[in-house]
Every structure is written in structure tokens, then in C-alpha cells.
Amino acid sequence: MREIRIGSVHFFSLVLMFELGTALVVNVGMEAGRDAWIAIFLGCLVGMLVYTGYNYLFKLYPDLPLSGYTRAILGKPLGAVVVILYAVIFLNGAGRDMRDGSALLVMAALNRTPILIVAAMMILSCGYVLHKGLEVLARTSFIIMVGVLLIGGIITLLMFFSGEMEWSRLQPLLGDGIKPVALSVIRSNYMFPFGEVFCFTMLMPYFGDKKRAVWVVPSAILAAGLIISFTALVNITVLGSDMVERSPFPLLATVSKAALSDFIQRLDVLVVMLLIIGVFFKVAVYYGAAVIAISDLFNLPYRTLIIPSAIIILFSGMLDSRSFVEHLEEGAEMLTFVYPVFTIVIPVVLIIVAAFRNYRSRSRPG
Amino acid sequence: MDGQVLKLWKLLAISGLLLLQTGCWDSVELNRRAIVSGVSIDKGLTEDKRYSVSFQVIVADEITGKNSRGNAPVALYKGSGRSIYEAFGNASRQSARILSLGHSKVIIISEDLAREGIRDLMDIFERESDMRLSTLVFVSRGQRAEDILSVMTIFGKIPANDLVQKLETGNRSFGYNFRIEVDDVIRGILAKEGGAIINGVIVKGDLEAGGTKSNLEGIKPKAILKNAGLAVFKQDKLMAFQDGTEGMGLSLIHNKQKEYPLLLELGKNESATFSMFKVHTSVTANAKDPEHPVIYISTQQQAALKEYNGSLDISKSSVLRNWEKLLSEETKKEIDAAVKAAMRLNSDYIRFNETVNRVNPKGWKRVKGRWDTIFTQCEVHIKVNTLIRHTEMRTRSLKSSGEGVE
Amino acid sequence: MKKKGQSNQGAPAGGSGNTATRAENQAVLNISNNLEQTLGNIKRELGSSPDLKIRKFQIGSAEPVWVAAVFMDGLINAVAVDEFVMGALFDNSADAAEEMPREPQERLQLILDRALELGEIAVKDDWNDMMLSLLSGNTIILLDGCSKAIEGGTKGGEWRTVAEPSSQIVIRGPKDSFVESIITNIALIRRRIKSPTLWTEFMKIGTVTNTDVALLYMKGRAEDKVVDLVRMRLKKINIEAVLESSYIEQLIQDKLFTPFPTVYNTERPDVAAANLLEGRVVLIVDGTPFVLVVPTVLAQFLQSTDDYTQRFDSATLMRLVRYMSLIILLLGPSVYIALTTFHYEMVPTPMLISLLAQRENVPFPAAIEAMIMEAAFEILREAGTRMPRAVGQTVSIVGALILGTAVVEAGIITPVMVIVVALTGIASFAIPSYNLAVAGRIIRFGFLVAASMFGFYGITLGLIVLIAHINSLESFGTPYLAPLSPFSIRGQKDTLARLPMFTIDLSPEKLGNMNNDNKSGNDQGTSDSGKDGRTGA
């Protein structure tokens, strides 16, 4: 594989698209009720904090992906085990997101299409783009991002002009105190979607401008946080927190309220498009991270891994649960118990070991 | 290498063909669809048929004309069942095409059903992905809901659209009915202390003739759809219909009335009629003591003189000042009537609960359970500010000029 | 794999290219001392073709020497041959007769130095060189007793004169276009760029046709890497015949499996000149008025000379219209299908009712209907292009008006479908480049299938894949979507919009070449390994 270098703008857009992913459309942080948007914003800040840890490791090993420096820090055998775990979690992440997306799509638009076909189409497209390379993925994300922001702008304008927004629905601010907000952040909000940025540790070495890398990802997280938070805010002002809480995709319901006379009605399909795009990038990034991890660990060519990984993702995603409800339950557990191990515990261990070694190697000659 | 590429292409081609074989699951040709323009829900006749649901289906051929057979532009399919969806299934069985709810504009609920509670039947309208949240909801006042959907209308051939337009036109300047959509109703039901507000609707005239073309043959339609009052609920149970001043006051409190007419009685046989516009109402509260909250309703409005048969010289500003005061009083009366009615019915559909919660969330939590008793004793201050900018195209009235000559 | 493709595409003459070449090489002929023998060889090799003209005469009075002027009738400039070759030989050699040396070599030199009045002259001692020169329209002068030949540049003959462009028409702008003569074409460009930095290289491609191909670039503006790459790819070409520049285009393009053109072509000298100034390389092939421009980007196919001859605001508007046309062309019918068969709730109710009434008695599903109409449209267009001009009009009238109306009247197709198809058809004409319009027309069918199966899901995924595909394309090391991605603010001045003239410089940065130093571009295109570049295409 030839050398990949992803430009700052494209890396930014890839992170942004990944973060927006499904989070834009589905119900995020609604444990906090009408203060969900605050919870989301706090989650975003926590996500940025978590990211500084990865940044530290990236600065130590600017040319290695997570799978590389894990082995460098923990030693070959232990490192390899950890990398395999990471590869599994990446594959799982891709599978879960694909399941999420296709289930939502089947619910919202394609009621009678077999979910397997929907998922297969998705993974085929992801595979094709990844086959073209990560650089192509990043560049594609940039163009799509422009489209997504355009759609977002149109929807926002429509919402403002349709007069459906009632700001009083946001009040009282923090009416139940900070506790539900904090709880929501701790339970899952910082992890979904902001903690998930951990799979970019696999892509960081491909960053073209290493100096700027430190800032690009956090700013993308922040931008994503602001956008998702704003979306939640719009949802609540339009529908009221009760309805938002009970709907799996509040944005769809919100947008269906936007109507300018008889001409512009039911723009929900735009939201469905946003969902498709979001799921695509989410799956593609996880999928790419998994493929890089495996190819790095076993020294296999990147492209030969694409089809086997696709098959694993497709079937693991499809077989992981019987229904969407079960899938969501599982997801909640994953977010509280499994993901933190990979996004926080292992990186923290890595940081400590690396810092210790760094300290020792520096102090020894001195 | 060549072989491999060939294999890949073969694989792709085969999978593509397989995909084509499986067909298009969700694709439905338009001429397989029956577009539903309105849904009405009546109480079922027997115990095991809880709901009787009618679907007004658009017959496109009759509307665009080319292949028209001169029949009714819409048809009503009716089904009953223990749930709305079961009734929908029963109705669908009679139809040659797929009943598609994506374009339904109105949902009409019969009064007797509304009195029993509408919580159960709203669920499907929120859950079903085909339905729109922006569908309007009505209560048929004293009549069966399906009768509302079976009236031939003059403008536009689809009765459901006629109803929507009447509502919008009315809300624009004269009526006090305003757009109430599915999600508004659901929010109303969800508010424990309050309730929903739904527009009432009736058919005026000959119900029998309304459903046939004879309704449109004469210059005077035999039956006409009409908005009638606002149905107010305690949670999901209909309590009463608010008409006249109470209805107008209700609309004002919700800040939904942008323009409305107002008549001032000025002594015997003398009156001035105004069109009020740029109306804006805001509701705030002082709830330092949540047990005894004070509610402030303040309305800003402008007035334009439309009709005057008195003898006052209205080129004097002092006269207008006086009228402004009278107009404010008049508006205040309307709002007051609405507030009194809500308190009488003991249902906070005028959303004082939200106002209190907004200004004092902690206090609100304390009194939440007892709001029923507190609400009826709320102190309400109504402040109305009216401004008459001008007297339109004439100054003095015909009467005063005529008298002057004599 | 690519080789196979090459011989298939490149050898319409039939037969295996390699054997023919070998047969020619086998006959190792030399320019012999014996004039008669040499002339006989020439005649034999050309199969005594009647357009081969040999004029034998003697020069020198003391010791006359047999000299022969050999040329191909029709390829030469008759005036030049008559006056400057024959006339000169007779006159000047008469003057020099006294000194006519004995040694053949010296005689040759004498003729070269004193007798010939031509501007372009060379000495050939290789048989194949000589024959090639002869067939290119030069006059060969052979001396008895000398084993070398003089080549006099007398190329000429009948060419089409410079006329108005026929395929790239503009409202305002130069009205000349390239012709079939490579020399004229180069001159047309040189007249526009009078700069010593405009460099030209010649090479001959085609083992049988020996077609002249000129490589033009601005030294200092064009990146050396790109020029080297073009040169390398041209040298790699192994083909018998080059009859049009598209032969070259198909052999040097970066990727085979893409509907998108990665080589730009133009018949307008001003466009070629502008591209040279922007640092691109221009390839002129003898015998065709279409010159190639590399590297290119997608945006270029949506530009027209008019963008620069009109005011910037109107130019920007026109350009946006073109981008919109491209989108309509790609998505028009598929969005219609998705809306009517999947997302009927999105269509405004009154419109839906009218659509519904139209569809009432139409026998085909909407997707099939669209396919039929699109196919019919393609047939009409194809028929229209190939028809003689006079009949072409009739075809379009019959097709567009009569067929369209009849089809609707008969209730086979809905009127809206006719509108949609006509709109996409017109949109395809709004795209300035035919190549890109063709690409759009092909992809349109893909979207149609995707939309008829999955509605907007299919369209969205299709769009993502399409954008990724375009993103993966490169033209001689330049990303195809530059300057949109990789993104460059400076590049935006002249991509979607066209800002006022003073903001635009013609520096090569417009190409978006600045941050792809990591790619040499040759790793995908010409490599036959296929592992990286091919499998997924």
C-alpha cells in the first residue's frame, strides 16, 4: 500500500462525520430530559479530555497507530493480545453501528426490505470506499460534510421559519438540578458518540501535518458536540422533552413538523439521508480501524483483509441480537462496561507505562 | 491477475443479478396506492368493536378531470375493531389498493369517544411512521365523526383539505380556532395537571344531502363544514366546548390569535367594530410562594376601525384614547372568561403549570401533586394594551355627517 | 491485462501487431551506392505505388552525376519541390559544376551546402529513416555512388483550412479551431503564446502509421514530474496505428475502469493555450483536430471559454447552472422514481393527486417506464448524431415531438416521465464536455436501478460511492476533484464560481498540485501489476 497522507481539512471532516454519525439522528442524552443538550455538550467536553490522553500517546509515537505503540509499550506478546482485543472491538463497533443504522432505516423508511440486504449494501459500499483507501474515505467525507452541513442549514432555517420552535419548552433550565445531567454524561453520553473517537488512534499516523493533528481532532469533536447539542435543543423546542424521550429518532419527528405552506412538506427523507451518511462513515471508520489493526499485527496486505472483515462485520452485526430493542439493551451495556475499558482503562495503562519508561530512559543517561 | 479480476467481475455480476431477482420490497407503484386524506374515529357499536374508523380516500381520476366519470371525488372506507389498527385492517380489506396514510390531513374524533378519553387512540398516530405529526386533529361536536368526512365541499374537491383551509383562513382574521396538530394534542395529554385542546367541527345543514353531489348543485349548499368551538380536555377526557368569548380568550392566552374582530357597544344603537391585529400575549408568573402563585397575562394589540355608526368626532385623539381603554377592557373580559372557565373545569389547559415550573422549578416540585387545588385559586392579573393607529379610509361616520347636514 | 486492451483497441487494421513489425524489420535494406538499385528497392518496398514519384536527372557538366529526387505525390508541397529542389539542383549545380568533386561524399556535401535552397534539410543514412521521411512528405535526394540520402523538408499537400470549431462553440471568443495538420496546430498555439518557454517535443507513435505526436508544455510552469510522466507513458505505448488522439488518450489515461474522462480534449487553440499557461501538458496528434490536455480535473470539463470572455457574475451563474445540470442528469429520473415509489409522502398532495391520475392506466412500473424512456432517448440521440445533417433535424422533431406526444396519448408513458426524461436529456446537453456528459448518462442508469430497489437509501449510498470513486481518480498525479479535494482556498476562485479577473492568476496551483508530492501518479495508471490499482475498479 502506498503511503497515505490525509490533509487536516479532510481529517477534520472525517472525525466530524464520524461523530455526527448516528448521534445526530438518534436520541442522545435524553436521560437528562429537557437539559439533554447540556448533557451532550458536557459529554463533548469530557470526550475532548479523553482525547488528550490519545494525543499524548500520539506525540510519543507519531508514526505508529494504536496497534503499533501498544506493542511497543507493552512488549510484543502482551501487546499483540491487546491489539487483537482492539481489532475485535473495532469489528464489533462496525457491526453494531451497521446494525443500528440498518435497523433504523428499516424502521423509518424501508419497512419491508430484509435488514440483511440493507446491511449488505452498506458494508459493500464501505468496502468499496476502503478499498480505494483511507485517503479517499477522508476526501469523500469532506465533500459529504459540505452536503450534510447544507442539509442541516436548510432544515434549521425551515424550523425557524415554520414557527414550530417554542423556546419556553427548554425552561426551566436545569430544573431538576445538575444530577440527571451528570448521570447521563457518566452513563453513556461521553462515550456515545464522543468517546468513540478512540478508533482514530488507528488513523492518526496517516495525518499529513503532524503539528496540526493535535488540534484538528479536538476541534472536530467540539464542532460535532455543538451540532449535536444544537440538534437536541431544536428537537426539544419543537416537540417538548416528553415526546423526544419516547422517540428513537426525534429529529425525524422534528423535521416532519417543518412545513412551509403546502409545498415543502415531509423533509424527513433528508433526515433519513443524514442517517445513511452518518452510519456509513461510522461503519467505515470502525471497519478501516479494524482492517489496519489486523494488517498491522499480522503483517497482511491491507486490501486482502477487506472482504473477510466485511463478512465478519456483516454477520456479527446481524446475529448479535434478535431485535432492535435487544440490540439497544446490549448497546447500553457495552457503552457502560466494555467501551470504557478500551477507551479509557487501556489507554491510561499505556500512558502510565509509556510515561514511566520515558522518565526512566531520560533519567538514566542524566 | 486477469483470472482474478474476471472472477471478481463475475461475482459482482452474479450478486447484482441475485439482487435484482429478489425484487423491490418497499417499492409501491402510485397506482397501487389509495391516498387517505382524512381519518375519522367513532365509537364502535358493540363492545368488542371498540372503534369504528373511516378513511376518506382520494379518487384522483375524479379530481384531475381527464378520465373523470363524474362521481364523488373521495370515497369513504369504513372498518371497525378493537384497536385503530385492527379497524384499519378491516377497512383495508374492502379497498383494492393500499390505504396510505402519508397524506392524511385531518384526524376527526367523535365527541362521545373524546369524552371517554383519547389517550389510547393517539398512540398509533404517533407511532406509525407513515403518519405525520403535523396532521390536524378535530373533535366532531355532537355528530358522528364519519359524517364530517362525508360532506361534498365547494372549494377543492377534497373535504379534508377544505377543513384545513377553513381553519387556517379562520385563524387568519375571524375565528378563534387555531392549528392543533397531533403532537400538540399529545403534549396536552401528557401534562398531568392540564389537558389537550382540540378544535371542534360540525356539519351544518342536511347531513343526508351533504354526502351526495346534490349538495353542490344549488347555489346554497345543503350542508357545510364548520369549525365550532374549542374542545377542552382534562388530560385526555373532553370536558366542554368553549365558544364565543371563552374560545377567543383561550386562543388569545395561547398567543395563537394574530387578528380578531371586536365590537364596542357605545350606548344604544351605536357601536364601533374593530379588527384587532398584531396581537401578542405573554404569560408570566410570580411564584415565589408556589402555594399562591400570581399569574400575569399581558396582551399587546393594535386595532383598526372597520365599522362605526356613532356620532363622535373621531378625528380627536381623546376619543380614540377612550376607545383604546374600552377595547382593552373588552379583550380582558375575553381572557378572563377563558381563565374562569378553565378554573371552573379544574383543568389547567391554559398552561399555568408550565409557567410556574419555568419561574420556580423547585417550588413547582413541591406543589406539583396538589396543583388541582392551587390552580383554581391562582391570582390572575390581566393587562391589555391596545393601540388604535388610525381610522382607516374615512374619519367621521355616515351618521354624524348626516346629522350635521340636518 | 492492459496490454490485451491495448492491442484490441489500437489495432483496427487487424492481425497481430508484433508480427507485422517484425516482417518490416526483417528486410534489412541499405541505401546502396548504386542509384538504380536503391530506387528499385524503394519502388519494391512501396509496391510500385503510383503516387511514388521519381525524378532522375544529371547534374554537373564535366562529369555528370545521376541524381534522383524521390517524393510522394500529394504529400509534398509541389512549389517547394519544383523550385527549391529541382530548380535549385539544376541551376546551382550548373554553377558549381566545375568544382564537382569526384568523391561522392563531397558531392553530397556540395549539394547540401550550395545547391539546395530549402529551409529544412538533413542527411539520412538509415534506410528506415529515409523511408519514413519519404512517407512523411519529404523529398529524398539520392546521388549515384553515395550511400547517403538528402532529405529535403517539403511537407505539404492538401489540408483542411482553419475553420470555426464545431463541437466547442462559444458565444464570444476566438473562432479558429485546430485542423488535422500538426504543424498548423502548433503554429496556432504559438501565435497565442509568444514565449521561448513554450517547449515542444516530437515523437512518432504507431509502428505502422508512424504518427507524429507533439508534446507541448511551458518550461517552468509545467511540473517536470508531470512532463516526465507523460513522456514516459507515451514511450510505453506499443500500438500499430494512431488515427486519432483518442487512441493515445485511452492508452495514457490513469484508469481504465471509470466512466469519467481523465484526459481533457479540445479543438480550440485558445483553450489549449490557456491550459499550457496553467501548467498543463498539451499533446497534439497529427491527423486530428482534437488535442489532448493533461493533467485534468473534473471541474475543467464543466468550464467553457465563455466563462472567461463573459463577466464574472454571469460566468459564475452559467457555471452553477452547469453543475446543476450535471446533478439533474445524474439524479433526475432516479429521484423521481424514489419519490413516487418509495417516498410518496414527500410529494405535495396536489401534485401527488395529479401524478396518481396520470399513472392510473399506465401499464409499466415507474422504474421500467423510466428505463424505456431513457433508452428511447439514447436511441434518438444516437440516431440524431449519425444522421446526415439535413435529416438529423427531422429525427429530432419526429423523436421529440411526435413520439413523445403519441406515447403520452396512447397512455403508455406518463407525461411527467416524459418531462423528467426530457429534462435530463437537456441537462446532458448543458454540460460543455461530451465525454463527461456520456459518463453522466452511463451513471444515471446505475442510480436508476439503485433508486428503484432502495429508494433514497440506494441513491444516498450510490452518491457516497460515486464521490469516493471520483475521489480515487487521478489524472497524471493530480487528484481528479482538485481543488475541491484536496481542498485549496485559492483554487476555489475558479472552480464553482469564477471570481473577477484580477483575482485569478494562471499559476499552476489551480491544478491542485500542491500537496500531492507523495504520489508520483504512475503507481496506479500504467502499472500492470493490477494488485493495487485494478481489482476494485
pLDDT tens digit at each of 537 positions of chain C:
334 434 444 334 444 444 444 444 445 677 777 888 888 888 888 888 888 888 888 776 667 778 888 888 888 888 888 877 777 777 766 666 566 666 777 777 777 776 677 777 888 888 888 888 888 888 888 888 778 888 888 887 777 888 888 888 888 888 889 998 888 899 899 999 888 888 999 988 888 888 889 999 988 888 888 899 999 898 888 888 888 888 888 888 888 888 899 899 899 999 899 889 888 999 999 888 999 998 888 888 988 888 888 888 888 898 899 999 999 999 999 999 998 888 888 888 888 888 888 888 788 888 888 888 888 888 888 887 777 777 767 777 777 778 878 888 888 888 888 889 889 988 988 888 888 998 998 999 899 988 988 888 999 999 999 999 999 888 888 888 887 777 777 777 777 777 777 776 655 444 444 333 333 333 333 333 333 332 232
Helix (H, G, I), strand (E, B) or coil at A214: helix
In angstroms, the CA B290 to CA B191 distance is 18
Judgement on whether residues C326 and C283 belong to the same structural domain of the protein: no
Residues A173, A175, A176: CA angle, nearest 5 degrees: 135
Judgement on whether residues C373 and C510 belong to the same structural domain of the protein: yes
Q: Is the Cα torsion angle A219, A221, A224, A225 positive or negative in sign?
A: negative
CA distance B184 to chain C (A): 21
Is C123 contained in some domain? yes
- CB A112 to CB B26 under 8 A? yes
CA distance C525 to chain B (A): 16
Is C186 contained in some domain? yes
The model's pLDDT over C29-62, given as tens digits with 9 standing for 90+, comes to 777 778 888 888 888 888 888 888 888 887 766 6
Judgement on whether residues C406 and C384 belong to the same structural domain of the protein: yes
Judgement on whether residues C365 and C238 belong to the same structural domain of the protein: no
Of C536, B16, C465, the closest CA to residue A117 belongs to: B16
Strands C281-285 and C291-294: antiparallel
**Interchain CB contact of A120 with C (< 8 Å):** no
> Looking at the 3D structure of chain C, how many domains does it have?
3
Is C157 contained in some domain? no
Q: Among all residues of chain B, which has the CA nearest to that of A124? A: B12
Query: In a 10 Å sphere around its CB, with 0-12 CB exposed, 13-18 middle and 19+ buried, how is residue A322 labelled?
Result: exposed
CB under 8 Å to C90, separation ≥6 — which residues? C57, C59
pLDDT at C443: 92
Rounded to the nearest 10 degrees, the angle between the axes of helix A134-162 and helix A210-239 is: 30
- Residue type at B278 in one-letter notation: K
Q: Is the Cα torsion angle C17, C22, C25, C26 positive or negative in sign?
A: negative
Residues 208 to 237 of A: which have CB under 8 A from any C CB?
208
Mutate to test the interface with C, among A269, A277, A287 (most CBs of C within 10 A): A269
CB under 8 Å to C24, separation ≥6 — which residues? none
Give contacts of A10 with chain C, Cβ < 8 Å.
485-487
Judgement on whether residues C358 and C484 belong to the same structural domain of the protein: yes
Residues A327, A330, A335: CA angle, nearest 5 degrees: 120
For the record, the C-alpha cell of C31 comes out as 541505401
Q: Among all residues of chain B, which has the CA nearest to that of C358? A: B61
Residues C248, C246, C190: CA angle, nearest 5 degrees: 80
The residue written with cell numbers 401578542 in the block is B280
Distance of alpha carbon C424 from the chain centroid: 27
Is C288 contained in some domain? yes
Judgement on whether residues C273 and C359 belong to the same structural domain of the protein: no
Judgement on whether residues C312 and C286 belong to the same structural domain of the protein: no
Judgement on whether residues C23 and C118 belong to the same structural domain of the protein: yes
Residues 425 to 454 of C: which have CB under 8 A from any B CB?
449, 452-454
How does DSSP assign B233-281, residue by residue? EEBTEEEEEE-HHHHHHHHHHTT--SEEEEEEE-STT-EEEEEEEEEEE
Give contacts of A256 with chain B, Cβ < 8 Å.
132-134
Judgement on whether residues C237 and C386 belong to the same structural domain of the protein: no
Q: Is the Cα torsion angle C181, C186, C187, C188 positive or negative in sign?
A: positive
**Interchain CB contact of A338 with C (< 8 Å):** no
> Neighbouring chains of A at 3+ CB pairs within 8 Å?
B, C
pLDDT at C510: 45
Is C8 contained in some domain? no
Q: Is the Cα torsion angle B253, B259, B265, B266 positive or negative in sign?
A: positive
Q: Which domain holds residue C81?
A: 19-152
Judgement on whether residues C280 and C314 belong to the same structural domain of the protein: no
Domain boundary among C106, C135, C152: C152
Give all domains of chain B, ordered by start, each with its CATH number: 29-242 (no CATH), 244-406 (3.30.300.210)
- Other beta carbons less than 10 A from residue C537's beta carbon: 17
pLDDT below 50 — which residues of chain A? 1-2, 366
Give contacts of A269 with chain C, Cβ < 8 Å.
343, 346, 456
| Residue in B26, B190, B359 closest to A242 by CB | B190
| Residue in A105, A142, A268 closest to C487 by CB | A142
For the record, the C-alpha cell of B143 comes out as 355528530
pLDDT in tens, chain B (406 residues): 445 555 666 777 776 666 665 566 778 888 888 889 999 999 888 777 888 999 999 888 888 767 777 788 888 999 988 888 998 999 999 888 888 888 888 999 999 888 888 888 888 888 887 888 888 999 998 888 888 888 888 887 888 888 888 888 887 778 788 888 888 888 888 887 788 889 999 888 888 888 888 888 888 888 888 888 888 888 888 888 888 888 888 888 888 888 888 888 887 788 888 888 888 998 888 888 878 888 899 999 998 888 888 877 777 888 888 888 889 988 888 888 888 888 888 888 888 888 888 888 888 888 888 888 888 888 889 999 999 887 777 777 777 666 544 4
In angstroms, the CA C366 to CA C355 distance is 11
Give contacts of B186 with chain A, Cβ < 8 Å.
242-243
| Residue in C345, C359, C453 closest to B130 by CB | C345
Residues A350, A353, A357: CA angle, nearest 5 degrees: 135
**Interchain CB contact of C457 with B (< 8 Å):** no
Give contacts of C342 with chain B, Cβ < 8 Å.
26-28
CA distance C472 to chain A (A): 6
- CB B103 to CB C4 under 8 A? no
- Torsion over CA of C395, C400, C403 and C404, rounded to 10 degrees? 170
Instruction: Give the number of A-B residue pairs with CB atoms closer than 8 Å.
Output: 55
| Residue in A111, A175, A243 closest to B187 by CB | A243
Is C289 contained in some domain? yes
| Residue in A109, A117, A257 closest to B133 by CB | A257
Q: Among all residues of chain C, which has the CA nearest to that of A129? A: C468
Instruction: Give the number of B-C residue pairs with CB atoms closer than 8 Å.
Output: 91
In angstroms, the CA C137 to CA C53 distance is 11
Using DSSP, how many helices (H) and how many strands (E) does chain A show?
Answer: 15, 0
Is C217 contained in some domain? yes
**A334-341: long-range contacts, CB 8 A cutoff, minimum separation 24:** A334/A92, A334/A96, A335/A187, A335/A188, A335/A191, A335/A192, A336/A187, A336/A188, A336/A191, A338/A89, A339/A89, A339/A191, A339/A195, A339/A196, A340/A191, A340/A195
Instruction: Give me the residues paired with residue B281 across strands.
Output: B299
In angstroms, the CA B299 to CA B331 distance is 9
How does DSSP assign B148-172, residue by residue? HHT---SSSS-HHHHHHHHHHHHHH
Residues B325, B331, B333: CA angle, nearest 5 degrees: 105
pLDDT at C92: 67
CA distance B307 to chain C (A): 39
Q: Among all residues of chain A, which has the CA nearest to that of B356? A: A172
Q: Are B301 and B261 in contact (CB under 8 A)?
A: no
| Residue in B22, B183, B358 closest to A171 by CB | B358
Output phi, psi for C219, to 5 deg: -65, 130
Instruction: Give the number of A-C residue pairs with CB atoms closer than 8 Å.
Output: 107
Helix (H, G, I), strand (E, B) or coil at C224: helix
Judgement on whether residues C351 and C494 belong to the same structural domain of the protein: yes
Give contacts of A304 with chain C, Cβ < 8 Å.
none
**Interchain CB contact of C19 with B (< 8 Å):** no
The residue written with cell numbers 485569478 in the block is C504
Q: Are B231 and B114 in contact (CB under 8 A)?
A: yes
Write the CA distances from C348 to A265, B104, C343, integer angstroms: 7, 12, 11
CB under 8 Å to C144, separation ≥6 — which residues? C33, C34, C35, C65, C66, C67, C104
In angstroms, the CA A78 to CA C281 distance is 55
pLDDT at C518: 34
Judgement on whether residues C313 and C283 belong to the same structural domain of the protein: no
Q: Is the Cα torsion angle A17, A19, A20, A22 positive or negative in sign?
A: positive
Of A126, A84, A45, A30, the closest CA to residue A332 belongs to: A30
- CB A109 to CB C348 under 8 A? no
Is C73 contained in some domain? yes
Q: What value of ipTM does the predicted structure carry? A: 0.92
Give all domains of chain A, ordered by start, each with its CATH number: 8-351 (1.20.1740.10)
Give contacts of B27 with chain C, Cβ < 8 Å.
341-342, 365, 367, 452-453, 455
The model's pLDDT over A350-361, given as tens digits with 9 standing for 90+, comes to 888 888 888 887
Distance of alpha carbon B50 from the chain centroid: 25
